[in-house]
Amino acid sequence: MSSEIAGKRLFVGLLAGSLAVLIVFIAAIWYLSEHRMYTYQRTILGLGGMLALAILLLTALGVGGLVLILWKRKTFPFFHSITNIAINLLFPLTLQVGKLLGIKEDKIKDSFIEVNNQLVIMKKIRVRPGELLVLAPHCLQYNGCPYKITKDIHNCKQCGQCQVADFLKLKEEFAVNVAVVTGGTLARKYVKEFGPKTVIAIACERDLTSGILDSYPLPVYGILNDRPNGPCQDTRVELENVRSAVLRFIDRR
């Protein structure tokens, strides 16, 4: 088994575990409402239980759809929305289940990003260069650089001290949109401004995860940055991964 598959399996396994927790929770509600309650309490719990049951059925269908998509390695458009809703609903519980099992949060998010990327790839997206937005994190910029590149990446003087210069070259080579962002608020601003059909985002596990979850239904392909100097300072990214992601999504005809 490749490590890539093992990575995806971690998130899918925890997602299924979260579903099991939800089932136990609903079973407990049902038991209490049947055996331990006064009539009015039963009514309240019964209503809550029905809502929880509806959520359970939806998430079960979504998790089932996700497993089917990854297993068959093909998309089933019927499951797209349901799978995304299930992931969004179960994600916080998935993190808690992972924590209880002693699994680091970043590892779970890492696995989620792999699952997400696989789903995005399987959609076989091809967009015009102007419909693709590459979002780079501000921490890629050299710590001592005085230029305000988050306002406009063209403010970079391409001195070569950091990789921002390479992103400008990428933008020129492929005519895609590129922006450097400090976080979710600025990322949302650029998404609104450029109106992309697909986004390639480079960030840490935390920012990528929240960005991917918040952006649905906009497809976001995530690439993790390297942090040789610790978090948020003079980070780096494997440029070849960014370049091949751009080539994967743009239609150059």
Burial class for 176, CB neighbours closer than 10 Å (0-12, 13-18, 19+): buried
Q: How far is the CB of 55 from ligand SF4 (least distance, A)?
A: 46
Q: Which is nearer to ligand SF4, 140 or 224 (CB)?
A: 140
Identify the three-state secondary structure at position 226: strand
Q: Which of 133, 164, 208, 220 binds ligand SF4 (CB under 6 A)?
A: 164
CB 73 within 8 A of CB 122: yes
Helices (H), 36-161: 39-72, 77-100, 105-122
Q: Contact between 239 and ligand SF4 (CB under 6 A)? A: no
State both tokens at 181. 């962002």
Q: Which residues pair with 203 in a beta bridge?
A: 224
Q: Contact between 138 and ligand SF4 (CB under 6 A)? A: no
Q: Which stretch binds ligand SF4 (CB under 6 A): 4-12, 39-47, 54-62, 162-170?
A: 162-170
CB count within 10 Å of CB 15 equals 25
CB count within 10 Å of CB 1 equals 6
State both tokens at 167. 């992103």
Q: Which of 157, 188, 236, 243 binds ligand SF4 (CB under 6 A)?
A: 157
CA distance 213 to 230: 25
Q: Which of 37, 165, 186, 232 binds ligand SF4 (CB under 6 A)?
A: 165
Q: Which of 103, 145, 232, 239 binds ligand SF4 (CB under 6 A)?
A: 145
Q: Contact between 147 and ligand SF4 (CB under 6 A)? A: yes
Q: Which of 41, 81, 158, 182 binds ligand SF4 (CB under 6 A)?
A: 158
Q: Contact between 236 and ligand SF4 (CB under 6 A)? A: no
Residues that bind ligand SF4 (CB under 6 A): 141-142, 145, 147, 149, 156-162, 164-165
